[in-house]
Structure 1
Amino acid sequence: MLRKRRTGLVATTGVLGGVLAVTALGGTSIAATGTDDAGNHATSPAQAQAKTPAPAQTPAKQGAVEASEARIEITPGQGSHHVGVDDPVGVTVGKGTLTKVTMTAVATGAEVPGTVSADRTSWKPDGPLKRATEYQIAAEAQDAKGRSASNNATITTVSPANDFIGHLSPEDGSTVGVGMPVSVTFDRAVDDRAAVQSEIQISSSSGQQVVGHWFGDHRLDFRPETYWNPGSTVTVTLTRDGIQKTVTFTIGRSQVSTVDAKTKQMTVVRNGKTIRTIPISSGSAEHPTYNGQMVISEKYSHIHMNGASVGLNEKNGKPSYDIKAVPHAMRLTDSGTFIHGNYWGADSVFGKVNTSHGCVGLRDVRGGGNDRQPAAWFFDHSLTGDVVIVKNSKDKTRLAPDNGLSDWNMPWSEWVAGSATG
């Protein structure tokens, strides 16, 4: 069975089963709650004291010696937990210069290499930190009169338990239709949507503006205002925890097919020209097909279709249909709408009668082995990401934009309003 999945892994530090996987997109602001890790254990009295704000900067000597004017700031602040391993970490000084900075892993004593700026007013580590690690930062500085000041902080980096896995479609290196959005689904809820969205940058060689939209707290899709320009290249850059992952895919030719449920014909338009009109049979009066813009998300040479899987059963409890090998099936919605081959209907049905349970059926043969059949032709000439529009169906239900890849049914102003980054 040929299957084009619409899920792939966002970015990774390792390889699992031949697919890229990353514990990426974690960080200070999107840490999970209620999970014990190196920075989230039960608090002892000593730890409680350590979590209090750092005291005022301390001059090296007290008494007659005046306090230093140098003011040292450590980022993030004392007691910070769930710090992303590539979050901004460093030391700056005002009204003075740094004389010494050390950053060490508390458990091992290993020192973190770092670099002081040329003017000696800032310091930062040379690379990403380790996960689930407690670090101590100690800094010393002098003001213009040579008076010393010091400051220190203890921070803890995020553990893998507080990271997110993001599954990205389409796949790297793929060629897709003009309607394919970039879709990222997360394995658990994202609290700080702006932080996560800002780590995903998308550009197109066409110059089209691309905007993200959140469907709840588990899914983030990106698309331009209108379909992608044919032949353009889309680049997705994900940056997190010292890792930069780039996914690139190509937009193929433009193909938009329009199913008219009233005339029972589908018009296939490629690059602005009609290349074929195909008789179809769509949803019956009892089970009308959705109206709206849908996108092919998966392709199957054969698929088992059972009415019980979408809640369609007879009064006796048996599924309304149970077809073991439906040929040339392409998914249009997550709720179960397909455009597929139909070998069990009489030839007189196509172009004449709407008989399905909501899918769009094209004439085919059992097994799908005849390439001259309309279903085989359409399957062979379609890409994931191609648009299929249904109109004049008697269905009155609004097709939800997050039902499959139906993003294009949302007005642009509403789409932009769903972005977490403005």
Structure 2
Amino acid sequence: MNTQTNNSESAVLFDQPGPRGRRMIRIFNSVAAVLIIALVVAVLARLHNPPQGENQLSWELWKPAFDYEAWSDFYLPGLWMTLKAAIVAIIGSIVFGVVFGIGRLVPSRLVRAVSAVIVEFFRAVPELLLMVFFWRWFAFAGVSSPSYWAVVGGLVLYNGSVVAELVRSGVGNLPHGQREAAVALGLSPMQSLMTVEVPQALYAMLPATITQLVVVLKDTALGSIIMYTDLLQESRRLGAMYFNILQTLVVAGVIYFILDWLLSRLAERMPAVMQRRTWGNTVAEPTAPIAIMDATNANQIAAAHEPMPFGGAERRFHDHYHGSNATTDHWQHAHYSHGHDLQHPEVRARNWDEPLRDFARPFQTKPKNPAANGNVSAGNGGNGNAGAGTDHSAGKNPGTE
């Protein structure tokens, strides 16, 4: 199914290649594969026999980059400092982005202008410049761990500005009529923004936000320039100790790749997860048969037997609508699955003493007792009191049988 969908999408965007086109594609792919293999071989050959220096593929250089001391004293402490700065920066970026993203949408022109200046300024200034500025400022102010807070501050301001734009664009991309419907219900524009539009935008921007988290994690490596002991800085220290800087940086690069790959896979899975959570009922609604005595036609029979209120006017919504469970699609299936279809043979076959919901009790219809030869005494006309030999339930309306 997915292959057919992809083929149909590619057919819409591009013409399907013919036999000659497919042959040319195979030739180009083969040539590209050969060139890539040749490049890899050339790089390995140069590392094995460099013009000056020792063999970079030697195990004596790679062994210190993989032993226990390297992981316990360098990689893992550096990884913890990287994650520590990234987690705090991610939380701060989300808070900063939501606040100033909403600030760019509020009715007040002054608040919108101030929020726009702040967001555009910090989006334009490079992160490294922000980190250097904060590092010098915190150092002169006597703040403990100035390099750590400088890294966090620079990441929060830059990535928070990006998240603010995601919030603003998320609200702008909502289907038309959201605010109009909220205002028609009596909400103010600010109430519509905070209770209707922004919650939808926050949920819709989750995949893009998680993608931005990859940027936050990678940009923590900029802190090594201001002497922050993150994973990159610790790898450089280890390489300087054993004169194998290439090997230690390769290991650090693999660690960064694994972390970013996991976040990227999460961002790719988020739309599918969100779509599954927002799908409606996919069960096909049963079609009522023509035969009126067929059991599956009980809903239409019950609707036809409902009393007409307001002097005989036809009901706009029948008994199968129940509060928040009301639905215009698949109502027959929902009506039966929720146990509201009291006319269905399976529901009627249940134990009569089973307690029913209070709102369903007036519409309850008791099966006739076979011992009474199928006869039930009629009640006292309009007062609804049961006559002799009658076993009506409490609260039963007259004339329901």
Whether TM exceeds 0.5 here: the answer is: no
TM range (shorter): under 0.3
| Structure with greater contact order relative to length (CA < 8 Å, sep ≥ 6) | 1
* TM-score, reference length from structure 2: 0.21
| More strand, by proportion | 1
